[in-house]
Amino acid sequence: MLRLEPRPEASKAWSLGSPLLALAITVVIGVLLFMALGKDPVRGLQVFFWEPIKSPYALGELMVKATPLLVIALGLAVCFRSNVWNIGAEGQFVIGALAAGGVALLAGKDTSRWLVLAIVLAGVAGGMAWAAVTAVLRDRFNANEILVSLMLVYVADQILSYMVFGPWKDPGGFNFPQSKTFEAVTQVPRLMAGSRVSIGLLVALAGVAALWVFLFRTRAGFAQQVGGLAPAAARYAGFSSRKALWIALLTSGGAAGLAGALEVAGPIGQLTLYVPAGYGFAAIIVAFVGRLHPVGMVFSAILMSMFYIGGELAQSRLGLPKSLTGVFQGLLLFTLLACDTLIAYRIVFPAKAGIQGTRVP
């Protein structure tokens, strides 16, 4: 029988190779899934991995999807490295979108373009405020932040539903649950004509650089990570666990709220029931596939956005359910968790007669 043997120390090679192996296994399982559904597996893989990158327009749409995923994942990386498990980024995304949408609805035809800055800041503030609820309950009452942040997602969804069915419902919207379309002055500036890619992409890339500096070049970032890896050592060094908790949750909440603001004041252009697109949950996978490293999360955000676009194309071109997106996301996460076993353990094959068992490096 095969068995796992603990490694003397974690394997750096498998730390980098595990996501690649997980992706390969996901592709293999995807091929089998397409075959089981009676679809051409080559065409299925083409829809997921070639169609999203085959033209400049497709690449632009890929960046539109990748931007909120990357922004949210950057904030979550601070949380997870601090051993603070914020699972409610989706709710913070929704509240950030609501706060940003509320400011956008105040605009008129003569409003200054500078209102865009207020919209973005409102989104950040909304996300931080929603994350602060979790921080208060964890800090004051030692509530489990996983459960609290997750349950607050459903509260946020209900608040959004109330606003678009009630006070903010568009009176000229033929009774659809949506706000009126925002004025043109509230639109987040786009990078180029003919593309939906906004300056949010530049904000996300700036966030990558900022997070790298914070984590690996500042004392505050070092304190956050020490608190997550070794709480006792952090206390001995004089680092505050309360401060680390608040920094982690407010940072991740602000990032999720920023993504919500960029989304409603960008591609969507109004508040609807479809604002919650699952980005907050998918960004958790982005963070872990990217190894909680700013640069790694850039590539994992692109991969995850390919799954989003591939799922939409599979629905329209292959007649498959859109939920296939979630299937691929879940497969990637579970195969990654399985492959990560190789970081701390090596596989030992059974020994033959008189020969010592063989180990996988």
305 and 331 within one domain: no
Using a pLDDT cut of 90, give the percent of the chain over it: 72
Which residues on neighbouring strands pair with residue 63, listed in sequence order? none
Where do the H-state alpha helices sit in 195-240? 200-217, 219-229, 231-236
Q: Read off the CATH number of the domain in which 46 is found.
A: 1.10.3470
Question: Is the CB of residue 33 less than 8 Å from the CB of residue 311?
Answer: no
How many Cβ atoms from other residues are within 10 Å of residue 192's Cβ?
9
pLDDT at 360 over 80: no
> What's the pLDDT tens digit per position in 82-140?
999 999 999 999 999 999 999 999 998 888 999 999 999 999 999 999 999 999 999 99
User: Do residues 135 and 84 both lie within one domain?
Assistant: yes
In the block, which residue shows the tokens 């004051």? 140
Query: Are 92 and 203 in a shared domain?
Result: yes
Let me know whether 52 and 167 are in one domain: yes
Give the span between the Cα atoms of 27 and 48, in whole angstroms.
10
Within this chain, do residues 21 and 70 fall inside the same structural domain, yes or no? no
Domain co-membership, 228 together with 324: no
Q: Which two tokens stand for residue 340?
A: 């990560």
Domain that holds residue 26: 1-39+320-347+356-360
Q: Do 338 and 265 share a structural domain?
A: no
Query: 137 — phi, psi (to 5°)?
Result: -65, -35
Q: pLDDT per residue over 297-349, tens digit each?
A: 999 999 999 999 998 898 888 888 888 888 999 999 999 999 999 899 988 87
Q: Which residues partner with 345 through β-bridges?
A: 6
Mean pLDDT of the chain: 91
Question: How far is the C-alpha of 160 from the C-alpha of 277, rounded, in Å?
Answer: 13
Q: From the CB of residue 346, how many other CB atoms can be counted at a distance below 10 Å?
A: 18
Using the predicted structure, report yes or no on whether residue 167 has a pLDDT greater than 90: yes
Q: Judge if 200 and 336 occupy the same domain.
A: no
Residue 215 sits in the same domain as residue 81: yes
Check pLDDT > 70 for residue 359.
Answer: no
Domain match, 55 and 101 both: yes
Distance CA 196, CA 349 (A): 52
CB 5 within 8 Å of CB 342:
no
CB atoms within 10 A of CB 230: 13
Residue 212: other Cβ atoms inside 10 A: 15
**Which residues are 5's β-sheet partners?**
346
**Residue range 1-21: mean pLDDT, rounded:** 87
Count of CB atoms within 10 A of residue 49's CB? 15
pLDDT(177) > 80:
yes
Q: Is the pLDDT of residue 247 over 60?
A: yes
pTM: 0.93
Do residues 333 and 236 both lie within one domain? no
Distance between CA atoms of 164 and 240, rounded to whole angstroms?
Answer: 41
Same domain, yes or no: 336 and 292? no
Measured at the CA of 111, the angle between CA 110 and CA 117, to 5 degrees, comes to: 160
Which whole number is the average pLDDT over 219-226?
Answer: 90
* pLDDT at site 97: 97
- The pLDDT value given to residue 291: 93
Angle between helices 89-104 and 241-263 (to 10 degrees): 50
pLDDT reading at 353 higher than 70:
no
Domains of the chain: total: 2
Query: How far apart are alpha carbons 204 and 186 in whole angstroms?
Result: 19
